[in-house]
Amino acid sequence: MREATRGQIVAALLRARPSSRKQLASATGISPATVSRAVDGLIADRLVHEGSALVEERRGRRQVLLDIESGDHLALGIDVGGSRTRAVLVDLTAAPLASVDVATQVGASAEDLALWIAELAKSLAGARWGDVRAVALGLPGAVSHQGPSVSNAPNLPQVEDPTFLDACARAINKPLRIDNDANYALLGEMRFGAASGLASAAMVTLGAGLGVGLAVDGRLLQGRRGLVGEFGQLPAGPGGTRLEASVTGPGIARMATAAGIDVSEPAALFRADPPDELRNVRDRFDQALVLTLCAVSVASDPDVIVLGGGIAKSLAADLESYQNELTNALHVAPRLTSTALGDFAGAAGAAAGALHAVYVELGVDVDELNDLPAAGTLDAAAVAAVAQS
């Protein structure tokens, strides 16, 4: 009971900082005396500190405001992609302390890739590695939580090797959470970005692969084997080719090559006036993307679909057109929007996932995690401000 009370107070304070003892009692429904005792314990444990005083209008009594003491409870989120790896270190309130964006070691073996990820994490945290209480890792492919294991990751096949996750766990040697990178990108946008405040949302990432994250009633849909959202595996293209073959960077390059066109950068496909020889490739891309958006919409009925990833940057000017096609197809369609967190959506969501592990360790009930960490502390500008070269 004492641990549950502490957890409720920590959760309430994370949602509304700073707060007085009276405000925490009102927010949690716990008696003022019990709140006061629990707060005293949290202060003694250096999880909460007292700040300025708030004067109540009716009686003139001074209520001391309390805030989270976040110094020695850090979390780290890492988004490992087929071309770039991004990581962000945050404190207990999700305020970013350091971030990094580097090329993924795609040529490394499974074990060497795991060691590289661990060294990246330790380097980012530096002297504060000992304060990191949990790490979360976003990976391409279907992440099964039975085992765990990873499958369907053609752009970074090393992560499918059974030794990879074991090597990560040994090298990091801290509580480690893993999930699909699109799931973490969605979590990032729900907690801090374009889907903030929405209980049902979806994320579609377009880059080296096609990633989809789905959330209903504030919870990410994962499934036993991690196949939820793996729409890229659908044999929906010409001749039964997989859907992702028409909407990803490698897929665009292959379609262009098959048409006898050299496309060194997928962005060339999305110019306002593409050459005639690229129009058929663009038409196939558009058809495949609309099909993907329709599949996402009927699968989870989200309020919003957030588009992210390298290719999505080239689609900002065309969102209204895709919105119209989606609405014409379904009549009632979710809103389309671009990512608010940019390239760091996945790392931000992984950091939120790592914080969830820390919050549970501090006594917060898992049912209270849906709206934590609170929005407002992490955004693209804050991440950029702490970037390391």
Report the pLDDT value the prediction gives residue 51, as an integer from 0 to 100.
Answer: 85
> How many angstroms from the chain centroid is the CA of residue 374?
14
Residue 1 has pLDDT above 90, yes or no: no
Angle (deg, nearest 10), helices 2-15 and 21-28: 110
Average the pLDDT over each of 26-30, 165-169, 274-278, 302-306 and give the range with the smallest value. 274-278
Choose between 163 and 281: higher pLDDT.
Answer: 163
Confidence category of residue 330, pLDDT binned at 50, 70, 90: very high
CA distance 196 to 189: 6
Contacts 24+ apart (CB under 8 A), 60-64: 63/20, 63/21, 63/22, 63/23, 64/20, 64/21
Residue ranges of alpha helices (H) inside the chain are 2-15, 21-28, 32-44, 110-125, 162-172, 181-192, 249-258, 276-300, 319-330, 345-361, 380-385
Report the pLDDT value the prediction gives residue 113, as an integer from 0 to 100.
Answer: 98
Residue-averaged pLDDT of the chain: 92
Measure the CA angle with vertex 144, ends 116 and 171; round to 5°: 25
Residue 57 has pLDDT above 60, yes or no: no
- pLDDT of 136-155, one tens digit each? 999 998 999 887 899 989 88
Question: Is it true that 74-187+343-385 and 194-339 share their CATH fold?
Answer: yes
Residue 55 has pLDDT above 60, yes or no: no
Average the pLDDT over each of 105-114, 266-275, 377-386 and give the range with the smallest value. 266-275
- pLDDT of 175-207, one tens digit each? 999 999 999 999 999 999 999 999 899 999 998
CATH of segment(s) 74-187+343-385? 3.30.420.40
CA distance 348 to 89: 9
Superfamily of domain 194-339: ATPase, nucleotide binding domain (3.30.420.40)
Fold of 2-68: Arc Repressor Mutant, subunit A (1.10.10)
For the chain, domain boundaries: 2-68, 74-187+343-385, 194-339
**3-class DSSP state for residue 307?**
strand
Report the pLDDT value the prediction gives residue 80, as an integer from 0 to 100.
Answer: 97
Report the pLDDT value the prediction gives residue 290, as an integer from 0 to 100.
Answer: 96
Report the pLDDT value the prediction gives residue 226, as an integer from 0 to 100.
Answer: 81
Report the pLDDT value the prediction gives residue 58, as an integer from 0 to 100.
Answer: 57
Angle (deg, nearest 10), helices 110-125 and 162-172: 30
Report the pLDDT value the prediction gives residue 259, as an integer from 0 to 100.
Answer: 79
Strands 132-139 and 96-103: what pairing? unpaired
CA distance 154 to 30: 51
Considering the entire predicted model, what is its pTM?
0.94
With residue 53 as reference, give the H or E element that holds it.
strand 48-55
CA distance 79 to 99: 11
CA distance 91 to 382: 13
Contacts 24+ apart (CB under 8 A), 386-389: 386/96, 386/97, 386/98, 386/99, 387/99, 387/100, 387/101, 388/98, 388/99, 388/100, 388/124
